[in-house]
Amino acid sequence: MATVRLDNIRKVYDNGKVAVAGASFTVADGELLVLVGPSGCGKTTLLRAIAGLENVTSGTIGIDGRTVNDLAPRERDIAMVFQNYALYPHMTVAGNLAFGLKLRGHARAEIEKRVADAARMLGLEDLLQARPRQLSGGQRQRVALGRALVREPKVFLLDEPLSNLDAKLRAAMRVEIARLHHRLGATMIYVTHDQIEAMTLGQRIVVLNDGEVQQIDTPMRLYEQPANLFVAGFLGSPAMNFFQGRLRDDARALEMQNASLPLDGLRGSHLPLDALRGRDIVLGLRPEHLQCADAEPAASQVQFDATLEVTEPVGNEVFLNLRFGKLGLVARVPPRPLPAPGATLRMAFDPSRLHAFDGIDGHRVV
């Protein structure tokens, strides 16, 4: 396996569009690193640049301590798994698995051994004589993974490999990829727009938006300490609730459009109230931290009334879609008897759960 190092990678297309703006990070030997972000954020461009399928405008790419900017894809010792599988329809599964090894001149015995090992690892032994059209989407994806696996490359690159699968199969394949990585100890870079895939697979995650790296960290640190409003809103399902407004000079309320959020319970909290007085700020709160107020709520809780609009039962929990002034909120609560839509609910949260962001540039305040 190998380390991968990107140093100030920049990609500008001929039409002036900046696809990647100064991306720098290192993928450790044996790490599974995920690149995540919305469509068009630059994640696939970065992956293709590492593979050698895309030239960079500036910056350096290193694999295992060697700069590879000027090396052809086949000289970089990487294997890439594409979104559309890219299997040869006229070849059997065995033929697809073996094709790259034959091109590289491996001995027949070595090819047969590697194909057999990959087929056993991915549960393809009974499908080796089948052709791609006879396979399900999940089976085709396993063949695509196997074709990369038999190469025994230094680095695996996976470009949204599960996006064509249904939700149940995606969940199963996520587990399979995680097991495969654990078994191989391989260096993997995985691209996805699905934040659930990113959170469940990545040992570390690079969050991208508009070609810029927003934050790099472990899944839970990204979730618990997002660096800015974009990361806070992108990671998490349902998304984080945001209260945007100006903190009153007495710091007793956040004045919002058509609503005022009482903040009496923030005294003694982690928020730097003196520094935030009179400023435009955004307070963030995860849906699981917004709950229906107890009959005898704690004195430290922040409480306010909201209108119930829609309830979404999902089995072990219920999503409450609420209206507070002009603001839509979501609370994630345990199953319980609830009034009909249109009712007023008393909601509460612990102020220690709040995230604070600057109302102008969106960066985290605390």
The pTM (predicted TM-score) of the whole model is 0.91
Q: Which CATH class name applies to 4-234?
A: alpha beta
Domain boundaries, the chain: 4-234, 241-358
pLDDT score of 364? 94
| Residues sharing a CB contact under 8 Å with residue 362, sequence separation 6 or more, in sequence order | 228, 229, 230, 282
In angstroms, rounded to a whole number, what is the distance separating the alpha carbons of residues 271 and 355? 8
pLDDT score of 298? 67
Q: Which CATH fold topology does 241-358 show?
A: OB fold (Dihydrolipoamide Acetyltransferase, E2P) (2.40.50)
Note whether 334 and 201 are within 8 A (CB).
no
Where in the chain does DSSP place strands (E)?
A: 4-12, 18-27, 32-36, 58-63, 66-67, 78-81, 155-159, 187-192, 204-209, 212-217, 241-247, 253-256, 259-262, 280-285, 291-292, 302-313, 318-324, 327-333, 344-349, 355-358
73-91 tens-digit pLDDT: 989 999 999 888 788 999 9
| Residues sharing a CB contact under 8 Å with residue 155, sequence separation 6 or more, in sequence order | 1, 2, 4, 27, 50, 63, 76, 77, 78, 79, 186, 187, 188, 189
Residues of the chain with pLDDT under 50: none
In angstroms, rounded to a whole number, what is the distance separating the alpha carbons of residues 335 and 69? 55
Peptide bond just before 287 cis, omega within 30 deg? no
239-256 tens-digit pLDDT: 999 999 998 888 788 999
Task: Let me know how long the chain is.
Answer: 366
pLDDT score of 299? 66
Q: Of 101, 87, 174, which Cα lies nearest the Cα of 136? A: 87
